[in-house]
Amino acid sequence: MRNGYVYLVGAGPGDPKLLTIKGAECIAKAEVLVYDRLVSKDLLKLVKPECEKIYAGKSPDGHTLTQTEINEVLVHKAKEGKIVTRLKGGDPFVFGRGGEEAEELVEAGIAFEVVPGITSAIAVPAYAGIPVTHRDVTSSFTVITGHEKPAKDDSAISWESLAKSKSTLIFLMGMENLEVICQKLTENGLDPFTPVGLIQWGTRIEQRVLIGKLNDISTLAHQEKFTNPAVIIVGHVVSLREKLAWFENRPLFGQRIIVTRARHQASILSDSIVELGGEPLEFPVIEIAQPSNPHLLREAINNIRIFSWIVFTSVNGVEFFISELLKQGKDIRELAGIEIAAIGPVTRKALEGRGLKVAYVPEEYKAEKVIEGLASLISPGQHILLARAEEARNILPEALEALGAKVQDVPAYKTLLGETDKAELQRVLQAKAVDAVTFTSSSTVRNFMQLLDGNKALLQGVKTFSIGPITSATARDLGLDIDYEAQEYTIDGLVQALVQGVKS
């Protein structure tokens, strides 16, 4: 059997978006993924469904697999003819033992490739607002292991040279030896008042930063319970943090926010949360599906010329309507002469993206305002088509009929309970690992509460955010209080509500 191939890939310092493009490609093609403790779980989503995942995490308290066992796994899986991706935090050749693994592969005759990653030595200080070099402060930096045993007689670290170097000194994984590190540097001539920064869980939403000096940082770290994983940075560049800190200043920094939208729509809200410094936890509690009786929409499209108006109340309605139109061999020319109303700007944008001109959008994005606006635009006896959710409220068709219109209320789609991880949802809530939850429709509220088995106590201490009054009313009907409601009933409005309310 022909040997496989091994990629030694650096996953970067923690933020999953700091993975290189080539690193992502290697994860996607892996038949076996061997990954470390500090690798973001989001990166594991990039693997193929059939990929074998092997956890090889190491911590100061112990190792899941020894380095020798990891080497053996890489060789064994490659000899089975597999494509193996070894995913390591940071860069594989910066205290990552990638060199040792590469040597083992060479001895076994296994072809391999090294894919560098962004090392935490540079990225973590950058996320804390600390440049490792600065023209006015220092022109060099040195990266040192912080893991060397303090009692070691023949130290590989030249403390005297470090103390006299005037470089920025960066120690990786050295929290257990912090006191010794500070002591060695001062004993060898470094000013005890030299600034020191500790950065724990750098580049992640858990990031914490502690600033002190060589003569007091160990005491401060003990008081603040700073532990690994952390980067220790010694030098006058640390003082620049006061001016340059940016990561923790983003409005949603440190907030974990549940996104309940359907999986195919969640990314818009999730991306906004990430850009503002938060972490979205996607639990798609709804799934969009064909209506129970798709024949009704087909029949309405067959008779499309009888309608004077078509009213769309969501992007989903637009997508399913256009899809059915195309399935029948028709196109948007069939809608010539028919006026179109959209409940809000996002629905209008979806229609305009299909080449359709929207005649009316209410100032306030709910059914009552659609009725108010259409009252002066429609005439008695006109046929109006509503293409919307199967479970939508009756207020819109009833009110339009009261105006004398002939309304055909056609279900274009329906919402089902999403295929989300119910046990995991309850677990993160029980663990108090959630700061907020967002609801984008009445269906998301109903299904979310169903997945909680109606246990509102799981939301104690969690702020709730609604996209608008209808969604909020559904929540109240289920005994759930909404803390913040979007002023504009759109995803952008919901994001604004998050910014205003999540830390208040």
Interior/surface letters 153-162, b for 16+ CB within 10 angstroms, e for the rest: eeeeeebeeb
Please compute the mean of the pLDDT values over residues 417-433 and round it to a whole number.
94
Task: Give dist(CA 467, CA 448) in Å, integer.
Answer: 15
Q: List phi, psi (to 5°) of 326.
A: -70, -35
Please compute the mean of the pLDDT values over residues 95-120 and round it to a whole number.
95
Instruction: Give the distance from CA 222 to its chain's centroid.
Output: 32
- The answer to whether 333 and 304 have CB atoms below 8 angstroms apart is no
pLDDT (tens digit, 9 = 90+) per residue, 454-481? 899 999 999 999 999 889 999 999 999 9
Q: What is the pLDDT of residue 57?
A: 81
Catalytic, out of 36, 91, 409, 435: 36
At residue 113 the predicted structure's pLDDT band, cuts being 50, 70 and 90, is: very high
**How is residue 40 written in tokens?**
């973001």
DSSP, residue by residue, 182-232:
HHHHHHTT--TT-EEEEEESTTSTT-EEEEEETTTHHHHHHHHT--SSEEE
Please compute the mean of the pLDDT values over residues 97-107 and round it to a whole number.
95
Instruction: Give the distance from CA 251 to its chain's centroid.
Output: 15
Does residue 50 surpass a pLDDT of 90?
yes
Interior/surface letters 222-244, b for 16+ CB within 10 angstroms, e for the rest: eeeebebbbbbbbbebbebbeee
Task: Give dist(CA 276, CA 452) in Å, integer.
Answer: 28
Known catalytic residue at 153? no
Please compute the mean of the pLDDT values over residues 126-150 and round it to a whole number.
92
What is residue 89's DSSP assignment? Answer: S
At residue 262 the predicted structure's pLDDT band, cuts being 50, 70 and 90, is: confident
pLDDT averaged over every residue in the chain:
93
DSSP, residue by residue, 383-394:
EEEEEEETT--S
At residue 59 the predicted structure's pLDDT band, cuts being 50, 70 and 90, is: low
In the chain the domains, ranked by start, together with CATH numbers, are 5-117 (3.40.1010.10), 122-249 (3.30.950.10), 256-285+418-501 (3.40.50.10090), 289-417 (3.40.50.10090)
Does residue 323 surpass a pLDDT of 80?
yes
Which helix or strand (DSSP H or E) is residue 300 part of?
helix 295-302
Please compute the mean of the pLDDT values over residues 312-324 and round it to a whole number.
94
Known catalytic residue at 36? yes
Map residue 342 onto helix, strand or coil.
Answer: strand
% pLDDT > 70, the chain: 97
Catalytic, out of 58, 77, 414, 463: 58
Q: What is the pLDDT of residue 96?
A: 87
Closest CA to 19 of 91, 113, 117: 117
Give the C-alpha distances (Å, rounded to integers) separating 113 from 7, 57, 103, 240, 343.
Answer: 5, 21, 12, 38, 53
Does residue 369 surpass a pLDDT of 90?
no
Task: Give dist(CA 144, CA 359) in Å, integer.
Answer: 66
Does residue 33 surpass a pLDDT of 60?
yes
Q: What is the pLDDT of residue 264?
A: 75
At residue 363 the predicted structure's pLDDT band, cuts being 50, 70 and 90, is: confident
- The answer to whether 390 and 291 have CB atoms below 8 angstroms apart is yes
Please compute the mean of the pLDDT values over residues 223-246 and round it to a whole number.
96
Catalytic, out of 15, 77, 82, 173: 173
Q: What is the pTM of this model?
A: 0.85
pLDDT (tens digit, 9 = 90+) per residue, 170-209? 999 999 999 999 999 999 999 999 999 999 999 999 999 9
Which helix or strand (DSSP H or E) is residue 312 part of?
strand 309-312
Please compute the mean of the pLDDT values over residues 12-27 and round it to a whole number.
96
Known catalytic residue at 58? yes
At residue 150 the predicted structure's pLDDT band, cuts being 50, 70 and 90, is: low
pLDDT (tens digit, 9 = 90+) per residue, 383-395? 999 999 998 888 8
Task: Give dist(CA 7, CA 256) in Å, integer.
Answer: 32
Q: What is the pLDDT of residue 1?
A: 64
User: Among all chains, which residue has been given the structure tokens 């709910």?
Assistant: 366
Does residue 61 surpass a pLDDT of 60?
no
pLDDT (tens digit, 9 = 90+) per residue, 114-135? 999 999 999 999 999 999 999 9
